[in-house]
């Protein structure tokens, strides 16, 4: 079971409110007039920027006549939505979109990743992170770099414990062989990935897309797909390239990314073969060290 996340709770509340309005054919202006909300306030609620007070929550539940078995769930979600998330501590470092991703990630049951350039954040070793953050393409100061590393290490806690997320990563073989911060850092990073797979055989699955495989071109950017325990929440995606990253909540776009990801994954070598490719990359890099 995934841990509680205020970001996920706010999202689920918004989804369930919108669906109930559709079921009852109630328009937002009519709802706001009946309950005494301003349209701007309601917009903040359904976009996750505000949480209803307990009094307003009861009023909304009554007005929309939610079924009895859902009312307690909605009130519990409201309580979760009011809690602070650990990622709020890093609001000065990250934009709203990234903070939302971290909140969704924290409450996800399954995360699937495709990376074609660098090792995914959830699998990065501390030295690899610091090398990335202090590179010419990283952050601007050592203080900021430490904070970025700290935040990334906090994200990685989802890989551990009884509530560990099911994490699947597809990496191109180029990710294994590239060593922009020297072969020693890269070798340590590859060994770190192997240790994570061995420590979490039931929840961490890493597959390598061999060089020359046609699947290398199927997902040209970096893709994250997040799945949730709640039946109310669809798969949501994060897509990024060298210039920008954005959440993909449009159901058609998310479904298309999911479809391509699943097709590529089905063509991948099994984890045993992928581990062999990691070992092979270590040998290649060792000859360069």
- Is residue 223 helix, strand or coil? strand
Query: What pLDDT does residue 177 have?
Result: 97
Same domain, 210 and 170: yes
Same domain, 252 and 142: yes
* Last residue within a domain, chosen from 53, 82, 111: 82
What CATH number is given to the structural domain containing 22?
A: 1.10.260.40
Same domain, 236 and 133: yes
Is residue 17 situated within a structural domain?
yes
Same domain, 110 and 240: yes
Query: What pLDDT does residue 42 have?
Result: 95
Same domain, 42 and 173: no
Same domain, 73 and 206: no
What CATH number is given to the structural domain containing 173?
A: 3.30.870
Same domain, 93 and 34: no
Is residue 143 situated within a structural domain?
yes
Query: What pLDDT does residue 215 have?
Result: 76
Query: What pLDDT does residue 144 have?
Result: 86
Is residue 1 situated within a structural domain?
no
* Last residue within a domain, chosen from 24, 55, 82: 82
Same domain, 59 and 108: no
Is residue 235 situated within a structural domain?
yes
Query: What pLDDT does residue 140 have?
Result: 67
Q: Which residues of the chain have pLDDT under 50?
A: none
Is residue 102 situated within a structural domain?
yes
Is residue 258 situated within a structural domain?
yes
Q: What is the tally of structural domains in the chain?
A: 2
* Last residue within a domain, chosen from 82, 106, 122: 82
Query: What pLDDT does residue 134 have?
Result: 87
Strands 245-248 and 236-240: antiparallel
Same domain, 127 and 238: yes
Which strands, in side-by-side order, build the sheet including 110-115? Answer: 204-209, 166-172, 110-115, 222-227, 236-240, 245-248
Is residue 23 situated within a structural domain?
yes
Is residue 44 situated within a structural domain?
yes
The whole model's pTM is what? Answer: 0.94
* 112 DSSP assignment: E
Q: How far is CA 162 from the centre of its chain?
A: 19
CB burial of 91-117 (b: ≥16 within 10 Å; e: otherwise) equals eeebeeebbbbbbbbbbbebbbbbbbe
Query: What pLDDT does residue 7 have?
Result: 98
Same domain, 142 and 208: yes
Same domain, 129 and 263: yes
Same domain, 146 and 256: yes
Query: What pLDDT does residue 136 have?
Result: 78
Query: What pLDDT does residue 82 have?
Result: 97
In terms of residue numbers, what domain contains 21?
A: 6-82
Q: What is the DSSP string of 119-184?
A: --GGG--HHHHHHHHTSTTS-SSHHHHHHHHHHHHHHGGGGSSTT--EEEEEEEHHHHH--TT-HH
Distances (CA, A) of 189 to 76, 128, 130: 41, 6, 12
Q: Tens digit of pLDDT for each residue in 198-238? A: 999 999 999 999 988 877 767 777 899 999 999 999 999 99
């Amino acid at each position: 079971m995934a841990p509680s996340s205020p970001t996920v709770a706010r999202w689920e509340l918004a989804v369930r409110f919108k669906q109930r309005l559709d079921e009852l054919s109630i328009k937002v202006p009519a709802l706001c007039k009946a309950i005494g909300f301003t349209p701007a306030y309601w917009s903040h609620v359904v976009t996750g920027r505000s949480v209803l007070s307990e009094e307003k929550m009861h009023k909304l539940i009554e007005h929309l006549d939610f079924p009895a078995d859902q009312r307690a769930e909605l009130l519990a979600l409201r309580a979760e939505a009011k809690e602070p998330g650990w990622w709020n501590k890093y609001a000065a470092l990250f934009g709203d979109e990234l903070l939302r991703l971290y909140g969704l990630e924290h409450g996800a049951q399954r995360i699937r990743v495709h990376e074609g350039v660098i090792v995914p954040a959830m699998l990065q070793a501390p030295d690899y992170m610091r090398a990335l953050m202090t590179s010419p393409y990283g952050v601007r100061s050592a203080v900021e770099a430490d904070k970025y590393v700290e935040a990334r290490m906090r994200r990685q806690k989802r890989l551990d414990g009884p509530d560990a997320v099911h994490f699947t990563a597809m990496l191109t073989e180029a990710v294994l062989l590239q060593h922009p911060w020297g072969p020693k850092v890269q070798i340590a990073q590859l060994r770190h990935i192997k240790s994570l797979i061995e420590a979490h055989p039931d929840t961490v699955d890493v597959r390598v897309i061999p060089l020359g495989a046609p699947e290398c071109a199927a997902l040209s950017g970096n893709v994250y797909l997040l799945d949730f325990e709640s039946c109310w929440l669809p798969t949501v995606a994060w897509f990024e390239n060298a210039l920008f990253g954005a959440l993909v909540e449009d159901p058609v776009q998310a479904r298309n990314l999911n479809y391509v990801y699943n097709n590529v994954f089905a063509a991948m070598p099994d984890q045993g073969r992928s581990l062999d490719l990691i070992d092979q990359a270590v040998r290649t890099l060792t000859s360069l060290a």
